[in-house]
Amino acid sequence: MERIRLGNTVFEGLNNVYVLRGEETVLVDSGVDTEQTRTELAEGLEDLGLEFADVDRVFLTHWHYDHAGLAGHIQEESGATVHVHEADAPLVAGDEESLIEERTRQQETFEEWQIPDGPREELLGFLEGHADLRGGTVDVTPVTDGDRFEVNGLTMEAIHLPGHALGLTAFAVERAGERQAFVGDAILPRYTPNVGGADVRVEAPLTKYVDSLGEIIERDWDCAHPGHRNTIDDPAGRAREILDHHRERTGRVIDVLDRHDACTAWTVSHHLFGELATIHILHGPGEAYAHLDHLERHGVVERDVNEYRLIDDDPDVSGLFPER
């Protein structure tokens, strides 16, 4: 297995594309659809004695542009089969109805979070200005949790890990006696994946993500290959660190509500993160919403239209994030 590292000037962090060679040439993720990234991927493949036309299959961890954007170009050049979870398949395919539905849900969500007009216009301008990064249409092959694929003598298992994205899926293999997984943005080595804003289609985003972290802890892979930056040598340990992060952040959200009484997701975001710009105008209140929603589901806060109020001023925060 080789890793090709791609630049990413639009979203945070370098992107990884993984290449599994053998009877087939298989990629995990594809990078964002920019001319620079396309060139970098072509050069990375050339260093391995390959070109786009040699690719037989592409496994996408999720639909976000920086992971799936070049899938259409690769497929056009090679006829490769593109696999992605059924929940994300319509967005990767470029299904117009699904794209409109996702944009409509975003607009409704921005109103629900009470993002003010100025930041909302800046965010919409950013999103519309980068819509072409999605890439071209793709003929997708949907996968679901538990599906298995034979890849160059290895068995690759699809493991659904929603939270950051509705269809986020890890692909686990055993190589050279090690149990490994390509995890996309389920866990990352340097920062915590955004939950709540990164995919507004996810209901109960933090609750689902906590369960996904529990799945990673339970599987206890020897290492994980993330969508950004370097290999994670202790995936279960990293998942526990991220759980601790969300426990701490939930405590901060409770403190905000305790000090300021009823708050919207935007107000909580402002107290947590301060002024935001570009994509963070989406991610900040999304993160706040995910925690508020988690607290509401556990009876710690109550919601009145778009405002949240604390009704349990001494909750067991640790108990809100149980490990399996």
How does pLDDT run across 146-195, given as a tens digit for each residue? 999 999 999 999 999 999 999 999 999 998 889 999 999 999 998 899 99
- Are 203 and 301 found together in one domain? no
In a domain, 213, yes or no: yes
Residue 250 maps to a domain: yes
In a domain, 104, yes or no: no
110-141 pLDDT per residue, tens:
999 999 999 999 999 999 888 888 898 999 99
- Following DSSP, what letter does each residue of 67-113 receive, concatenated? HHTTHHHHHHHH--EEEEETTTHHHHHT-HHHHHHHHHHHHHHHHHH
Of the residues 202, 235, 268, which one is the last residue of a structural domain?
Answer: 235
Statement to judge: residues 222 and 248 lie in one domain:
no
Check whether residue 166 and residue 72 sit in a common domain. Answer: yes
In whole angstroms, give the CA distance from residue 268 to residue 216: 29
The reply to whether 8 falls in a domain is yes
Least confident range of 1-15, 92-106, 182-196: 1-15
Which one of 203, 235, 267 terminates a domain? 235
Q: Is residue 143 part of a domain?
A: yes
Half-sphere exposure (Cβ direction) of 17: Cα atoms closer than 13 Å: 34
Q: In terms of domains, do 199 and 62 share one?
A: yes
- Regarding whether 85 and 213 lie in a shared domain, the answer is yes
pLDDT band at 322 (very low <50, low <70, confident <90, very high): confident
If DSSP codes are grouped into helix, strand and coil, which group holds residue 209? helix
In a domain, 152, yes or no: yes
CATH number at residue 305: 1.10.10.10
51 in any annotated domain: yes
Q: With a threshold of 0.85, does the pTM exceed it?
A: yes
Non-local CB neighbours of 315 within 8 Å, separated by 6+ positions: 254, 295, 298, 300
Looking at residue 198, which CATH number applies to its domain? Answer: 3.60.15.10
Number of H helices, E strands in the chain: 10, 13
Structural domain of residue 276, as residue ranges? 240-317
DSSP assigned state of 234: -
**Co-location of 192 and 50 in the same domain:** yes
